[in-house]
Structure 1
Amino acid sequence: MLTEDEARGLVLKELAQPAREMNLDHAISRVETVSFGWVFYWCARQDIGRPAGRRPTLGGNGPFLVDRENGRLIRTATSKPVAQQITDYERRLRHEAHARNAAAKHAVQQ
């Protein structure tokens, strides 16, 4: 099981290579706790605290979902609302749990 600090480390590691390639310093701008773990929002460090109306340096920087139970790191798409992607992932987790339970029940019956 991951802690928030460990999850933050996963996200920062994922951001490190593209940051070097673009010669930008990426930073986590906000963290939201959700049922399965966290949502890490990120941006170019220079955009943190930028005035309203000023265009961000980066575009297309969808947040990461990090699952505390299995350590999954999921890059979200910017074409779909984050709330919908969280709901979709929660649905995926329920489906996976159901499949594991069904397989375990089947194994016991044999």
Structure 2
Amino acid sequence: TLSIMLSRSEARDLAVRRIAATVTELPPEDELVVVDEATIERPWGLVFFYTSKIWQETQNISYALAGNAPLLVDRRNGATHFLGTAQPIEAYLREYEDSSDPYAVK
């Protein structure tokens, strides 16, 4: 298999593009931001968390995002997977490490 090993910066750029293409229901005065200090890094990839910029700055509930599941980026092949919110993040990561399918969480 082809192994490309994205850098952290490349993986973050990919995550920003994927999130922006998926999450489109923000008010015009707001924008999405990646919460860099929350990023989880593994040898095979990274998990990026994101939110509304206005929510992050003000904690005003009217700007909170609903269901903003974190995005996993596999550095080995550039695959992206939005994780779920029903289980702890570690459960999705364990399943991804075991089966390459974060949704197989039991």
Range into which the TM-score falls when normalised by the shorter chain: 0.7 to 0.9
Within the alignment, does 1:62 sit opposite 2:69 as a pair? yes
Pair 1:32 & 2:21 matched:
no
**Alignment partners' CA distance in 2, 1:21 and 1:47:** 14
Asked which structure has the greater RCO (Cα within 8 Å, sep 6+), the reply is 2
Q: Deviations over 1:27-78 (max 9, x none)?
A: 1013121232111011111122555xx6461011011111111111110011
Q: CA RMSD in A?
A: 2.0
What are the equivalent positions in structure 2 for 1:12-23 lying under 5 Å apart? Answer: 12-23=16-27
- 2:90 alignment partner, SS class: helix
* 1:80 CA drift (Å): 1.7
Q: Supply the distance in 2 between the matched residues of 1:50 and 1:20 (Cα, whole angstroms).
A: 20
1:85 corresponding residue in structure 2: 92
- Once the two structures are aligned, what percentage of the paired residues are identical? 27
The structure in which a higher percent of residues are helix is: 1
Q: TM-score, normalised by structure 1?
A: 0.71
> Quick one: structure 1 residues 84 and 50, their matched pair in 2 at CA, closer, same or farther if it must change by over 3 Å?
farther
Query: 2:103: which partner in 1?
Result: none
Check if 1:2 corresponds to 2:2: no
One-letter amino acid of the counterpart of residue 22, structure 1: L
Q: Give the aligned partner of residue 104 of structure 2.
A: none
Note the residue ranges of structure 1 that are not aligned, 5 or more in a row: 94-110
- Structure with larger Rg: 1
Point out where structure 2 has 5 or more consecutive residues left out of the alignment. 101-106
Partner of 1:96: none
Q: Distance in 1 between the 2:41 and 2:89 partners?
A: 13
